[in-house]
Structure 1
Amino acid sequence: MRCLLLLLGLLAPGLAAAQPAAVPEALQGAWFRGDCARPDAMLQLTPRAAARVPREAAGRLLRFATMREAGGWIIGSGRGPEAPRLMLRPAGEALETAEPEAKARDDRLPGEAPVGRWHRCAVVPPAVAALHGEGVAVMAAVEHLEADCGGGGTAACLGAVMAQADVSGDGRLSAAELARLARGMAWLLAVQEGVTEEKLAGALAAGALAGQLAARLVVDGLDYDGDGRLSPAELAQDRVGFGTARGQAEGRPVHAEAAGAGLAALRGLLDGLSLLK
């Protein structure tokens, strides 16, 4: 369950915060710089985020806390002391972007920031799709999870996790489906940390191994019926309807010296579980 919770909190600056205006639908999706057969960089835009992954320079991941229009530009700003900004504007069938410095005044944007130009690719090279596909999918999934987990309650949030992760559509989560989320998270973390595209493959390989193990542990830890997959009920166990277990009035604290065989066995079990922490 821990990797699911990490997914919810990975990029969310505050699930309860008001949703900012979105990147226009016409600008969403993948943009490229350079030859489509071997792009120099990719820019992926979702309604409230941007991931820029150059082949040789540092990547960047930006979540938009606010968005506004000024001087023909759409300006998305992130949170944090420097409030990083990304400027977008359509240019015919192309897209122009600028990333102003933190000290640049709002009334003088884009300032000295260079303007980059991006284009669509009718066919994405298989190598690009293989490297970025799962990360881009999870990047979009995070926004769906934020929308459903920002105040809809535990049941709605777990339902959103199931909807986003259930690739097979069978209503249950397998270790492979959870591992896919973990690989996507590894992509997001790597881009957030500024790796180049050339180093991204290595980061994803390491993340895939760790993700496979984490996914197996999650399934093993929550698969109460032993079918090798997680049902909505298993995800919700002890989480939906929190605090409804009331105990029994006839129960009384038992002194250790008066413990019977049953209580001694229970204590032994709890002691054993503590060794697994």
Structure 2
Amino acid sequence: MIRYVLSALLLAAPAVAQTPAGVPEPLRGAWFGPDCTAPESMLFVTPRAAVTLPMEGAARMLRFVEIRDRAPWTIGTGRGAEAPRLALRAEGEGLVTAAPSAKTRDDRLPGEAATETWRRCPGQPAAFAAMHGEGLAFLGALERLEAACTGPADACIAALVAVGDVSGDGALGTAEIARLLRGAAWVMAAQEGGDGETLAAANAAGAISGLLAAHALVGSLDYDGDGKLSVAELRQDRGALPMVVGDAAGRPFRTETVTDGAGFLRSLIEGMMGSR
């Protein structure tokens, strides 16, 4: 179950080296266009991704496997046969972006690609926050998980608890785990270019399946019975390989035909009973 959850949370992770600095800090965050009075689209930029979320139409998410500085542009390249790119540059208090064709050379950006201007809005539109806030929060958390999970398992598990711990008690409750899984569902739908209705449906489906998975995860790993998962519980038998312990005496029980964990346990109990 823990493997399922970690797989769901890291499903979108490009396993390649990244420029540590990522997208420059001033270019990150929420941008809106064409204006703040009645914005029709939002661009959200993280250190290693950019996602365009129009009120009408398909989302476009690029998770950058490479980020280069070609002043005045910052160029993020996504994964795929055509290596899609997004060029970003600051312009006054705004942001200008261009999506150049695959044939355009970096030194000729943006080439013939149309540019789009984005603005910061003093009060972020409530509709965008309600529709996408949880998913975008997870996108940032996913990047932190990717950075932590390149090393020891302990660091990865600690990062999982850190990004999911809304209450600040150092553990993950059922609602906090379900929130992470809803965010993962949103990221999957956005990566596939889903529109607003599709993203909302993914959130709704993720809410149901995420809650079921969260209950199952807590039920299977909550060893102290407090209703939450601590770092210690998550890393139990996973942070490091166990010492070689056992006993040379005895003979193996018959488990050759067992196909699942419950069957294995039943066979083990029957073997113990039969060995008396």
- On whether the aligned pair clears a TM of 0.5, the verdict is yes
Contact 2:32 2:118 in 1 (8 A): yes
Cα distance change of structure 1 residues 177 and 60 upon mapping to structure 2, 3 Å threshold: same
1:240 counterpart letter in structure 2: G
Partner residue in 1 for 2:106: 106
Contact 1:7 1:142 in 2 (8 A): no
Partner residue in 2 for 1:28: 28
Cα distance change of structure 1 residues 29 and 255 upon mapping to structure 2, 3 Å threshold: closer
TM-fit CA distance, 1:60: 1.2
Identity of aligned residues (%): 55
Please, what TM-score do these two structures have when normalized by structure 2?
A: 0.87
Unaligned runs of 5+ in 1: 257-263, 272-277
1:13 counterpart letter in structure 2: P
2:46 counterpart letter in structure 1: T
TM-fit CA distance, 1:235: 0.3
User: C-alpha distance in 1, partners of 2:164/2:95?
Assistant: 31
Partner residue in 1 for 2:260: none
The question of 1:55 aligning with 2:55 is answered: yes
**What whole-Å deviation, never above 9, does each CA across 1:102-146 have from its counterpart, x for those lacking one?**
233334322221100100111112222121111111111111111
Cα distance change of structure 1 residues 213 and 82 upon mapping to structure 2, 3 Å threshold: same
Partner residue in 2 for 1:9: 10
User: C-alpha distance in 2, partners of 1:270/1:58?
Assistant: 55
Contact 1:178 1:215 in 2 (8 A): yes
| Deviates most, 90-99 or 120-129 | 120-129
Cα distance change of structure 1 residues 110 and 168 upon mapping to structure 2, 3 Å threshold: same
Cα distance change of structure 1 residues 74 and 255 upon mapping to structure 2, 3 Å threshold: closer
Contact 1:56 1:198 in 2 (8 A): no
Residues 90-129 of structure 1: pairs in structure 2 closer than 5 A: 90-129=90-129
Contact 2:43 2:53 in 1 (8 A): yes
User: C-alpha distance in 1, partners of 2:133/2:230?
Assistant: 26
SS of match in other structure, 2:227: coil
Residues 146-165 of structure 1: pairs in structure 2 closer than 5 A: 146-151=146-151, 153-165=152-164
SS of match in other structure, 1:31: strand
Partner residue in 2 for 1:259: none
**What whole-Å deviation, never above 9, does each CA across 1:1-34 have from its counterpart, x for those lacking one?**
24431244222111xx322241111111111113
Residues 66-215 of structure 1: pairs in structure 2 closer than 5 A: 66-151=66-151, 153-215=152-214
**What whole-Å deviation, never above 9, does each CA across 1:206-248 have from its counterpart, x for those lacking one?**
2211211111111112122222211211101110121324212
Cα distance change of structure 1 residues 3 and 166 upon mapping to structure 2, 3 Å threshold: farther
TM-fit CA distance, 1:45: 0.7
Please, what TM-score do these two structures have when normalized by structure 1?
A: 0.86
Contact 2:18 2:67 in 1 (8 A): no
Q: Which has the higher contact order (CA 8 A, sep 6+)?
A: 1
Residues 235-254 of structure 1: pairs in structure 2 closer than 5 A: 235-253=234-252
TM-fit CA distance, 1:154: 0.7
TM-fit CA distance, 1:38: 4.2
Query: C-alpha root-mean-square deviation of aligned residues, in Å?
Result: 2.3
Cα distance change of structure 1 residues 34 and 269 upon mapping to structure 2, 3 Å threshold: farther
User: C-alpha distance in 1, partners of 2:174/2:29?
Assistant: 28
Unaligned runs of 5+ in 2: 256-262, 271-276
2:90 counterpart letter in structure 1: P
**What whole-Å deviation, never above 9, does each CA across 1:42-62 have from its counterpart, x for those lacking one?**
111111111111122221111
Contact 2:12 2:188 in 1 (8 A): no
**What whole-Å deviation, never above 9, does each CA across 1:56-91 have from its counterpart, x for those lacking one?**
222111111111122521111122321110000001
Contact 1:223 1:229 in 2 (8 A): yes
1:34 counterpart letter in structure 2: P
Cα distance change of structure 1 residues 174 and 73 upon mapping to structure 2, 3 Å threshold: same
Partner residue in 1 for 2:46: 46
Cα distance change of structure 1 residues 222 and 245 upon mapping to structure 2, 3 Å threshold: farther
Number of matched residues? 261
| Deviates most, 70-79 or 184-193 | 70-79
